Amino acid sequence: MSVNQQDLLSISSNHKDYLYRKIKNKTARIGVIGLGYVGLPTAFEKAEEGYDVIGFDVSDFKVKQVNGGKNYINDIDDAKFNELTKARKKLSATTDFSKLNQVDVVLICVPTPIDEYKQPDLSFVRSATESIAANLHPGMLVILESTTYPGTTEEIMMPLFEEKGYTAGKDFFVAYSPERIDPGNRKFGIKNTPKIVGGVTEHCTSLAAGFIGEVAYPVSSVKVAEMAKVYENTFRFINIAFANEMAVLGEKMDIDMWEVIEASGTKPYGFMKFFPGPGVGGHCIPVDPYYLTYKAKEMNQNTKLIELAGEINNNMSEVVVNRAMKALNEHGKAINGSKVVVLGAAYKKDIGDMRESPILPILDELANANADIKVCDPFINKVPINNNMHPTVNYSKQLLQSADLVIIGTDHTCFNYKEILEQSKIVLDTRNACKDIGEKYTNYIR
């Protein structure tokens, strides 16, 4: 049922205190917009805490899966998910966004991608905000969790809400609390990862922090929270670029940069280890820095370091393919027509997530060089190569033996690296997956 007149009559002039009580006694109804890698785990956790949760998504498939008790995110326990959706009826999903009028707290967990020109695409945030604005009611708390540039909450969302005639911080509440979800991380999850939160007003901040709970880390404003998210990932983006650049230099100088980084890491202060690889991937690191550079340009501010880091990281696919060509040439083969097996296409190990995976441009470049490519990834059924989907193949000794070159693209734990080294003609390790045993083999390159 929607928020009825009796509910509204029972609300005193202090909507904040009323909603806070509902949050504390778990009678607040929660809505989560976007049921992807962030939204579904968030909805699951809130349902597990005891709230009634409605998930909203434009995908009929996702909605049917949720309502059928079928989990499609690796980090969620299947049995608990089925119990929350089917037995206890704490979590449901819908494509009907008018049902937002039934909820007290709305979490926006929609994608914020970049386009081909590295420009932010906030169309999903705008669409979610419009749906909420159409169903906005007194006593509602809205929290944006999607990564974005500083100013999004106040400049894009607030005008749509204010058209309803309500006052933020008094009638309704708006905050920004960026997601911190690392797919496949078994140590840190939603329950034990600090969560930054900044509201449009002090009441908004305190109410959102109360909802988030013990892990909440309140900051002074929405913009600080927005900047913190892009800052922390841009920090990683730049340092990975430095490691990648040094790896290229180290190869020319015949210096093992992996060993150099490990040696440097023995310093107990002032140093943090970042390792080279085939590029950067995932839903945050390859994207977030461009949200910051976009906003900086509005301020007529250059972000040379970020842009240069982007060039270095994006160029790593070419570096990997050039190393593959060199390795094959040294064995009397051209890459044209050579059989190349790529082990792993996900952006990180032990998950099936290909979002912005650095392996994908490597596959495109190998295809453009007319290599005969086979991709093996136990977590992925199909991979895109030059915009066409290709099925992955099963791992076997015969697969390794048939290849002129094996490239370790993603260091999945399930791969038998000793066998890979023993059965392959040439192994190019982009992840240092064979660091403990690789040097014993003359066919090993990293």
Active-site hit among 109, 284, 376, 434: 284
Q: How far apart are CA 208 and CA 197, in angstroms?
A: 7
Q: Which of 292, 183, 310 lies closest to 242 in space, CA to CA?
A: 310
Q: Could you confirm whether 109 is annotated as catalytic?
A: no
Q: How far apart are CA 14 and CA 76, in angstroms?
A: 37
| Strands (E) located in 208-353 | 216-218, 339-343
- Count of other CB atoms within 10 angstroms of residue 264: 12
One DSSP character per residue, 114-158 reads: B-TTS-B--HHHHHHHHHHHHT--TT-EEEE-S---TTHIIIIIH
| DSSP letter assigned to residue 166 | -
Q: Which of 334, 337, 381, 343 lies closest to 362 in space, CA to CA?
A: 343
Q: Which of 317, 388, 324, 326 lies closest to 356 in space, CA to CA?
A: 317
Residues in contact with 217: Cβ distance below 8 Å, sequence separation at least 6, in sequence order: 194, 195, 196, 197
Tokens coding 277? 């690889």
Q: Which of 248, 385, 389 lies closest to 320 in space, CA to CA?
A: 248
- What angle, 0 to 180 degrees and rounded to 10, lies between the N-to-C axes of helices 222-252 and 304-314? 50
Q: Which helix (H) or strand (E) holds 252?
A: helix 222-252
| Strands (E) located in 311-419 | 339-343, 372-376, 382-385, 388-391, 405-408
Catalytic positions: 284
